[in-house]
Amino acid sequence: MAEQGFVESFTMEEEKLQQEFYESHHGKEILKCIQCGTCSGSCPLTDQMDHAPRELFSLIRDGFMADALCSNTPWFCVSCYQCMVRCPREIPVTDLMYALKQMAVSHDVAQPSNKMPDLYDAFSREVKRAGKMNETGLMARYGLKHPLDMPAKTGLALRLYRRGRLAIKSDKTRNPDQIRRMMETQPEGMEK
Ligand code: SF4
Ligand code: SF4
């Protein structure tokens, strides 16, 4: 659930943030939303989200940008695209979730209890370093920020290791720099 105190401490101008969202890639598409709720009904992760997708879009359109940017919803989105293929207005819901994540990171407004941004960050750094994802590298990076979470994950890691599903030694692709450059390049058409 949203941490009310954190949302209330938000000091940025919500009108400006709403404008920034509209100017992001596909941002204005949200204005076509008819609030039918098909996206929320299709989403497999709504029980984890503090606002279902339809509700999140309503917050943005009503200018409640603090609630929208501090929401855990985009971080729980697993990009399954169920909402997008079913939306009667063909709104790119998944892409809008990415836009919200980018805005939350660029304004550094993720809620302290939301650990997903740190997991995303660890994933991205590991792929930039090795050109691929190594589970041990990922968890080591994440564990540096959340050491108290690690004991609970050790049992699972050991079970995976015994079954040969977890490599201790991290390896790299032949040219990880190519992957890093690709990740750091803004794709054509993604500019505001
Ligand atoms: S399915 Fe599309 S139109 Fe319906 S609420 Fe979701 S985004 Fe809006
Ligand atoms: S793409 Fe994200 S928001 Fe859409 S249904 Fe899947 S998990 Fe839910």
Identify the pLDDT of residue 178. Answer: 94
Gap between the terminal Cα atoms of the chain: 31
Distance 43 CA to ligand 2 centre (A): 5
Specify the higher pLDDT residue, 141 or 5.
Answer: 141
Question: Which mutation among 32, 57, 86 tests ligand 1's pocket best, with the greatest number of atoms within 8 A of CB?
Answer: 57
Minimum-distance ligand to the CA of 86? 1
- Residue closest via CA to ligand 2's atom 4 equals 83
**pLDDT exceeds 70 at position 115:** yes
Location of each CATH 1.10.1060.10 domain in the chain: 4-106
**138 close to ligand 1 (CB < 6 Angstrom):** no
pLDDT, tens digit, 9 for 90 and up, residues 65-88: 999 999 999 999 999 999 999 999
Cα gap 174→176, rounded to integer Å = 6
Q: Which atom of ligand 1 is nearest to the CA of 37?
A: 5
Identify the pLDDT of residue 190. Answer: 57
Minimum-distance ligand to the CA of 49? 2
**pLDDT exceeds 80 at position 126:** yes
**40 close to ligand 2 (CB < 6 Angstrom):** no
What pLDDT band is residue 3 in, cutting at 50, 70 and 90? Answer: low
Helices and strands (DSSP H and E) totals, the chain: 12, 0
**pLDDT exceeds 60 at position 90:** yes
Identify the pLDDT of residue 166. Answer: 85
- Residue closest via CA to ligand 2's atom 5 equals 43
Cα gap 155→123, rounded to integer Å = 21
Distance 78 CA to ligand 2 centre (A): 6
Residue 164 phi, psi (nearest 5): 75, 20
Distance 32 CA to ligand 1 centre (A): 8
Distance 83 CA to ligand 2 centre (A): 6
pLDDT, tens digit, 9 for 90 and up, residues 33-53: 999 999 999 999 999 999 999
**pLDDT exceeds 50 at position 1:** no
Could you tell me the pTM of the whole model? 0.81
Cα gap 66→5, rounded to integer Å = 11
**34 close to ligand 1 (CB < 6 Angstrom):** yes
Superfamily of domain 4-106: Alpha-helical ferredoxin (1.10.1060.10)
